[in-house]
A and B are shown apart, each in its own frame.
Chain A
Amino acid sequence: MRDLLNVESLTISYRTRDHLVTALLEVSLTLAQGEILGIIGESGCGKSTFSSVIGKLLGPAGVVENGHITFGGKDVLSFSGQELRSYRANDIAYVFQDPMNTLDPTKTIGAQFRRLISASAWRQKAIEALAHVGLTDWRRVLPSYPHQLSGGMAQRAVIAMALIRKPRLLIADEPTAALDASIRCSVMDLLTAWCAEIGSAMIIISHDIPVISNYCDRIGVMYAGRFVEIAPAEDFIVGPRHPYAMALLASEPGQEGEDAVLQSLEGSPPPSISRAPGCAFADRCIYRTAPCSAGFPPLVACGSSKVACIRLGDIHGEAAS
């Protein structure tokens, strides 16, 4: 498969009053066409920065210090004006966490669709798109204001708005976090089914490890502004390699046996991302040794995965070749 998205040693900071706060550090990643990538990690690890920079949506405080993003061979960071708007409109689409905040409260769903498709056939297209996400009752949905819909219906409408223009990449930032647990799976089902139908790749950001592992081809684990592990989903679920990924998975209910105690991961991610050499996770890592704080652990191939940990061999009893 050809690469759709290529991110190369991307470093991003946010400007504050007197200094720069690092959010992403030397991040590299490749996404194939139609691939579904899940990104997990605690809050403040750079997941949302990563997802917004792909649409060049960092806001005025964001600074790209280093690196490139290419989408379909084109340099995204050089886009501006009409070129940027057409890239956002036609190539990518976003689904954000809370549909009630994502929809303009003063406009009906129909009016918001009409802003997306200028064609005279907008109504027919909107009706088809709504049917695609299971909202067949368009006579009620189109003239409704967002607050008149349930959270699940609103998120379905948001998904229909995101996919109606057939993007090549959908970026979903915690798409089910604001929804009832009972409808999370059905929303994820229709999201992935529709993406598969139009051949759109997906980046799903979530705290919900079961969701990620069920729907994604690959999983990336972020910690302190970097990917510490990128692995095929099936391998990752069976055996995460990086100590942070292992701890995240161990703290997920449902993985332990009947009598086992649910693990919790002590501490929290560093409040600001340090560029000092050394593994950022070392402070919380139970496998830490002196060399861990000596240099950046690079992402190295380990079977089908890529892991950034110098002690892989010792932890898993195999050579990190």
Chain B
Amino acid sequence: MSQILKFIAFRVGSALLTLIGVSMFIFVAIHMLPGSFEDVLAPRGPEELRQQIADKFGLNQPLPVQYVKWLSAVATGDLGISLITQDPIADSFATRVPVTIELAVLATITSALIGIPLGLWSGLAHRRTAVSGIARVAGSFIMSVPDFVIASVFLYVFSRYSLGLTVGQWVPWHEDAIGHIKSVILPAATLSAVGIGLFITTTRNAVIGVLSKDYIMAAQARGEEPRDIVRGHVLRNISNPLVTTLSIYLAYLIGGAIIVEYVYSVPGMGRFLVQGLLNRDYPIVQATVLVIACAVVLINMAADVAYGLIDPRLRKG
């Protein structure tokens, strides 16, 4: 029992260290960018005005002092306010975080549900060269098309031929449920496309790797049914690489669906982050990065737990 507690304490401690490291890094990085908040707010203003602005927002204080102030505010749950709109950042998050999470989870589930069976099929058939070749080429083709290309194609097709989907406008769930679904399909499909390629390729490679293992040959030699071999041996043994892909993809979407959010005008965190960055709205950038980092840390923790459940060799103790 104490071993488990120690393990949990260790994981929480290292997660906190990761978050502090990330926040320090982003703090230094955004202040090192050329151009400052004063430049954005009063690009041609007199020096006194710029000085006044900097004083008002405490931007003249040494960086370590600013960081410690920010950190102690965050520790009490205060994410700060936007320099430009003066709105509490927590209020913006309340609407934006669910949007991003909804898109990321939808896209991850869709791509896993489509990509894993296709990869499984192509991996199991990999000795029949035609099927295997098609799947491999398709997988790498989808993966190598950037999401903004797919988004542009979708935009073109669906704005020209409408087809009942909402293009370039986000309808919140609570305003119109049907409209919400119509507006969420295109961005989710765009994000899924890359994921489908990723899942096809990972699953296929994992299946081919497992099929070459001696225990598969031994199972065949014992006269097990092909169906039982796939269900009993292959699926379990390809699960770990799939968990890795799943967690990396989900984390990538939570932090990085920026372009797709822009193309489809989705009010998620990606757009919020970029706007904050362009405006040198430091508190917005810091808070967004912190939230994304938290999500990534949580996803990785969940993946670690899953690894141990799947493969007994990875369990501690």
Given known pairs A60-B127, A106-B236, the reply for A101 and B215 (CB within 8 Å) is: yes
Judge if A147 is at the interface, Cβ distance under 8 Å. yes
Q: Which residues on the B side are within 8 Å of A149 (C-beta)? A: none
Instruction: Decide if A57 touches B237 in the complex (CB within 8 Å).
Output: no
Which of the four size classes fits the interface of chain B? 20 to 34
Q: Once the chains are docked, how many angstroms separate the CA of A57 from the CA of B218? A: 10
Q: Is B91 an interface residue (CB 8 A)?
A: no
Q: Among the listed B220, B223, B311, which residue makes an inter-chain contact with A105, where contact means beta carbons less than 8 Å apart?
A: B311
Which residues of A sit under 8 angstroms from B311, Cβ to Cβ? 105-106
Name the distance in Å between A201's Cβ and chain B's nearest Cβ.
Answer: 16
Indicate if A116 sits at the interface (CB-CB under 8 A): yes
- Beyond A96-B214, A102-B218, A104-B233, whether A85 also contacts B223 by CB under 8 A is yes
Q: In the bound complex, what is the Cα–Cα distance between A48 and B63 (angstroms)?
A: 70
User: Using Cβ atoms and an 8 Å threshold, which residues of chain A touch B233?
Assistant: 104
Q: Within residues 169 to 192 of chain A, which ones have a CB less than 8 A from any CB in chain B?
A: none
CA distance A98 to B218 in the complex (A): 11
Give the size range of A's interface with the partner: 20 to 34
The complex places the Cα of A101 from the Cα of B215 at a distance, in Å, of 6
Interface residues of B: mostly helix, strand, loop or mixed?
Answer: helix
Report A221 CB to chain B, min CB distance, Å. 25
Contact of B237 among A55, A102, A106, A115 (CB under 8 A): A106
The residue in chain A whose Cβ has the minimal distance to the Cβ of B228 is A115
Cβ-closest chain A residue relative to B218:
A102
Would you call A96 and B223 a contact (CB within 8 A)? Answer: no
Could you jot down 28 A-B contacts, CB within 8 Å? A55-B221, A57-B221, A87-B223, A88-B220, A88-B221, A88-B222, A89-B223, A90-B223, A93-B222, A94-B218, A94-B221, A94-B222, A96-B217, A96-B218, A98-B214, A101-B214, A102-B215, A104-B215, A104-B219, A104-B233, A105-B237, A106-B237, A106-B310, A106-B311, A115-B222, A115-B224, A115-B232, A145-B312
The residues of A with any CB-CB pair to B shorter than 8 Å are: 55, 57, 60, 84-90, 92-94, 96, 98, 101-107, 115-116, 145, 147, 161
